[in-house]
Amino acid sequence: MRLIIAHERTDPARSDYLPALQRELLAVISKYVNVTNEEIKVHLERQENIEVLEVKIEIPQS
Amino acid sequence: MRLIIAHERTDPARSDYLPALQRELLAVISKYVNVTNEEIKVHLERQENIEVLEVKIEIPQS
């Protein structure tokens, strides 16, 4: 499974919520898909005011 | 903000959890970003056993 979040940081003064959002989204996903931390790879990229968070989740073949 | 979830349906017998997952992910996002339903566009695409869910959230310029 791959989860990608791309958003434009319109207001730099506003706190960076992406890390917290990422933790909560992973908590929701782990309710549906049985994964361990080792199977989750997170990549955050910043280009000017665009932030792209990519989360790769290796789902064991059931 | 754009949210994309791509996953491989390995076991068709397993119930389709993407709609429920989508609702919960949006609930999490709306805790961080003030959006109304009108500002959320959802697109679900199925190609063979790959499902790609794309959620576009128009964030009002604060």
Q: Dump the DSSP string for chain B.
A: -EEEEEEE-S-TTS---HHHHHHHHHHHHHHHS---GGGEEEEEEEETTEEEEEEEE-PPP-
Cβ contact A4–B3 (<8 Å): yes
Tell me how close the Cα of B38 comes to any Cα of chain A, in angstroms: 18
Using the predicted structure, report yes or no on whether residue B28 has a pLDDT greater than 60: yes
Mean of the per-residue pLDDT values for chain B?
82
Per-residue confidence band for B62, with pLDDT thresholds at 50, 70 and 90: low
Whether residue B50 lies within 8 A of chain A, CB to CB, comes out as no
- Which structural domain range is residue A15 located in? 2-57
Question: Mean of the pLDDT values across residues B12-36?
Answer: 82
Q: At what angle are helices B18-32 and A18-32 packed, to 10 degrees?
A: 160
The mean pLDDT value of chain A amounts to: 82
B26 touches chain A (CB under 8 A): no
User: Per-residue confidence at B8, pLDDT binned at 50, 70, 90?
Assistant: confident
In a domain, B10, yes or no: yes
Complex ipTM, two decimals? 0.74
CATH of the domain at A39: 3.30.1070.10
Give the pLDDT band of residue A24 (cuts 50, 70, 90): very high
Asked if residue A62 is part of any domain, the answer here is no
Query: Quick one: closest CA in A to B61, which residue?
Result: A10
